C-alpha cells in the first residue's frame, strides 16, 4: 500500500506545473509541502522547515505517505498554489530563482506562505508606498567598519539618500533613482544579507555596501528600490510594457573577479585588480569593496569595432598570470591576464556576450560619455 501511494505521488510530479520547484523553478523537485500542497526542491524544502507553523515537508521518494496527504497533493499542486499565493505579486517584485542567494529565496517563501503578502495588498506597503526610511549598516569608505546610517527612499524626489547623523539636515549622498542599481553580494560583503548599491556621479560609478540583520528588511529595501525604478521608468518610457521594464529594475553582474591589467602604453608591469562587468561597463578596483572604480571601460558591440581575443600580443611583457585576454576597442587595446584557464574562459564568454549584442540607441550616448571622460 505504501509503495502504491508513493507511486501515486510520483505520478503527480509529471503534471506540467509540478515539474519545477514551486518556489525557485529548479527542475525535477522531489520534495513536497503536504500542508501547502506544493512540490519543491531540496534546497527550498530547507526553507519550508523553518516555517513549520505553515509548512510541513516530506520527501516524495524516501518518506511514507498517508492516503489523505496524497489526495491533498492531487487536489492542490504547484499551479493551484501559484494562483492563490502569488495572485497579487507586483510586477516590480523580484522573483528569485535557484541561482539566487539564500536571503532572497527565503524571504520569497516567507512572503508567500507565512506572511501571505501576495494575497493581502496592504502587506506590500513596505515596498510599494513610494517612500521608505530606516536604518541600515553601511560600510565606511575609509576604515571598512559598518556603521548604522539613516536611509530615505523617496519616489517623489527620485532619489535614495543617506544621512551620517540621524538629526542631520543635509544628506551625505543623494543617489538618483535613474542610475541606481542594487544587487545582493553576500560573499563579497561578508554578510548573508549584504547588498551592493551603485549609482552614477559625474558618469562614474560609486558603490555603497549595506546590510540589515533582518532578512525581511533588506529584501523589502531591495524591492522598494525596484519599485522606485519601475515607476521612474514608466514615466520615462510611457509606451513600454511591464515586460520591457522589469528586466531593467536591477542587474546582477555578468562577472566579477580578479585579473591583472597593464596601462595604456602596455609597458607598465601588470597589476592585480578586482574587475566587475556590469552590462557594458567594465570597472576595476584595487579592492572589491572600494567606493570608486579606478577606471571604467565601455564595451560596445562588434559592429562598432569592439573585439575580444584569446591571448596577448606576442611582445607583451610584465605579466604574472599565464592566461591572457585582449579587448580591442576603437581607441586602444586592453590587455588582461587570468590566473586559471577556467577564469579566462568565463571572462571571454562574458565579454563576448556583450560584444555580440547590438548596441541600443541610448548606449551610443553612454559610449560618447566615456570618450569625453578626462
Categorise residue 301: left if φ over 0, alpha if ψ from -120 to 50, beta otherwise: beta
How many residues sit in the footprint of Zn ion (CB under 5 A)?
6
Minimum CB–partner distance for residue 90 and Zn ion (Å): 21
Q: Specify the 3-state DSSP secondary structure of 238.
A: coil
* 197 makes contact with Zn ion (CB under 5 A): no
Provide the grid cell at 200. 552614477
Q: Binder to Zn ion among 24, 103, 160, 348 (CB under 5 A)?
A: 24
Q: Specify the 3-state DSSP secondary structure of 31.
A: strand
Minimum CB–partner distance for residue 42 and Zn ion (Å): 8
* 160 makes contact with Zn ion (CB under 5 A): no
* 175 makes contact with Zn ion (CB under 5 A): no
DSSP secondary structure string for all residues of 312-332: --TT--S--SSEEEEEE-SS-
Q: How far apart are CA 258 and CA 344, in angstroms?
A: 11
Tell me whether residue 100 or residue 279 sits nearer to Zn ion (CB atom).
Answer: 100
Tell me whether residue 41 or residue 70 sits nearer to Zn ion (CB atom).
Answer: 41
From 36-44, 88-96, 126-134, 242-250, span contacting Zn ion (CB under 5 A): 36-44
Give, in order, the Cα–Cα distances in Å from 281 to each of 163, 204, 296, 308, 338.
Answer: 29, 10, 6, 15, 19
Tell me whether residue 28 or residue 125 sits nearer to Zn ion (CB atom).
Answer: 28
DSSP secondary structure string for all residues of 113-124: IIS-TTT-GGGG
DSSP H stretches of helix in the chain: 2-12, 42-49, 67-75, 78-85, 102-109, 125-128, 186-189, 215-236, 242-245, 341-356, 361-371
- Contacts of residue 59, defined as CB under 8 A and 6 or more positions apart, other chains included, come to 30, 31, 32
From 23-31, 113-121, 176-184, 223-231, span contacting Zn ion (CB under 5 A): 23-31
Minimum CB–partner distance for residue 254 and Zn ion (Å): 24
Minimum CB–partner distance for residue 47 and Zn ion (Å): 8
Q: Binder to Zn ion among 5, 8, 17, 26 (CB under 5 A)?
A: 26
Q: Binder to Zn ion among 41, 70, 195, 224 (CB under 5 A)?
A: 41
Minimum CB–partner distance for residue 52 and Zn ion (Å): 18
* 38 makes contact with Zn ion (CB under 5 A): no
Minimum CB–partner distance for residue 187 and Zn ion (Å): 20
Tell me whether residue 19 or residue 168 sits nearer to Zn ion (CB atom).
Answer: 19
From 37-45, 165-173, 214-222, 262-270, span contacting Zn ion (CB under 5 A): 37-45
Q: Binder to Zn ion among 9, 12, 13, 21 (CB under 5 A)?
A: 21
Pick out residues in 42-71 that bind Zn ion (CB under 5 A): 44
Tell me whether residue 39 or residue 232 sits nearer to Zn ion (CB atom).
Answer: 39
From 13-21, 121-129, 154-162, 286-294, span contacting Zn ion (CB under 5 A): 13-21
* 233 makes contact with Zn ion (CB under 5 A): no
Closest C-alpha among 296, 298, 306 to residue 356: 306
Provide the grid cell at 44. 527550498
Minimum CB–partner distance for residue 85 and Zn ion (Å): 14
Q: Which long-range contacts (CB under 8 A, 24 or more apart) does 294-300 make?
A: 296/204, 296/205, 296/370, 297/327, 297/329, 297/334, 297/370, 298/329, 298/366, 298/367, 298/370, 299/327, 299/329, 299/351, 299/354, 299/355, 300/329, 300/330, 300/355, 300/359, 300/363, 300/367
Tell me whether residue 30 or residue 296 sits nearer to Zn ion (CB atom).
Answer: 30
Contacts to Zn ion by CB under 5 A: 21, 23-24, 26, 41, 44
Amino acid at each position: 500500500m505504501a509503495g502504491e501511494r508513493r507511486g501515486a505521488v510520483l505520478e503527480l510530479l509529471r503534471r506540467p506545473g509540478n515539474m519545477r520547484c514551486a518556489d525557485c523553478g529548479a527542475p525535477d523537485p522531489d520534495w513536497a509541502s503536504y500542508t501547502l500542497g506544493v512540490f519543491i526542491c531540496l534546497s527550498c524544502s530547507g526553507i519550508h522547515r523553518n516555517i513549520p507553523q505553515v509548512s510541513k515537508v516530506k520527501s516524495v521518494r524516501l518518506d511514507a505517505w498517508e492516503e489523505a496527504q496524497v489526495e491533498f497533493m492531487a487536489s492542490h499542486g504547484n499551479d493551484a498554489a501559484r494562483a492563490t499565493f502569488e495572485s497579487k505579486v507586483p510586477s516590480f517584485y523580484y522573483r528569485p530563482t535557484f541561482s539566487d542567494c539564500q536571503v532572497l529565496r527565503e524571504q520569497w517563501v516567507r512572503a508567500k506562505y507565512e506572511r501571505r503578502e501576495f494575497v493581502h495588498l496592504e502587506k506590500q506597503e513596505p515596498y510599494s508606498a513610494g517612500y521608505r526610511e530606516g536604518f541600515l549598516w553601511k560600510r565606511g569608505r575609509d576604515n571598512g567598519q559598518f556603521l548604522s546610517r539613516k536611509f530615505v527612499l523617496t519616489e517623489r524626489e527620485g532619489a535614495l539618500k543617506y544621512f551620517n547623523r540621524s538629526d542631520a539636515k543635509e544628506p551625505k549622498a543623494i543617489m538618483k533613482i535613474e542610475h541606481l542599481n542594487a544587487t545582493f553580494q553576500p560573499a563579497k560583503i561578508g554578510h548573508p544579507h549584504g547588498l551592493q548599491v551603485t549609482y552614477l556621479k559625474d558618469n562614474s560609478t560609486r558603490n555603497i555596501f549595506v546590510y540589515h540583520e533582518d532578512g525581511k528588511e533588506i529584501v523589502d529595501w531591495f524591492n522598494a528600490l525596484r519599485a522606485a525604478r519601475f515607476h521612474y521608468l514608466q514615466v520615462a518610457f510611457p509606451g513600454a510594457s511591464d515586460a520591457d521594464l522589469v528586466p531593467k529594475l536591477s542587474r546582477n553582474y555578468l562577472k566579477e573577479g580578479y585579473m591583472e591589467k597593464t596601462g595604456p602604453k602596455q609597458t607598465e608591469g601588470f597589476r592585480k585588480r578586482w574587475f566587475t562587468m556590469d552590462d557594458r561597463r567594465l570597472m576595476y578596483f584595487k579592492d572589491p569593496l572600494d567606493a570608486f572604480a579606478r577606471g571604467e571601460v565601455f564595451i560596445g558591440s562588434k559592429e562598432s569595432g569592439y573585439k575580444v581575443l584569446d591571448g596577448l600580443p606576442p611582445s607583451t611583457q610584465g605579466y604574472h598570470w599565464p592566461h591572457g585576454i585582449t579587448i580591442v576597442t576603437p581607441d586602444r587595446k586592453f590587455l588582461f591576464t587570468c590566473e586559471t584557464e577556467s577564469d579566462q574562459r568565463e571572462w571571454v564568454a562574458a565579454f563576448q556576450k556583450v560584444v555580440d549584442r547590438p548596441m541600443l540607441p541610448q548606449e551610443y550616448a553612454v559610449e560618447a560619455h566615456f570618450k569625453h571622460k578626462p
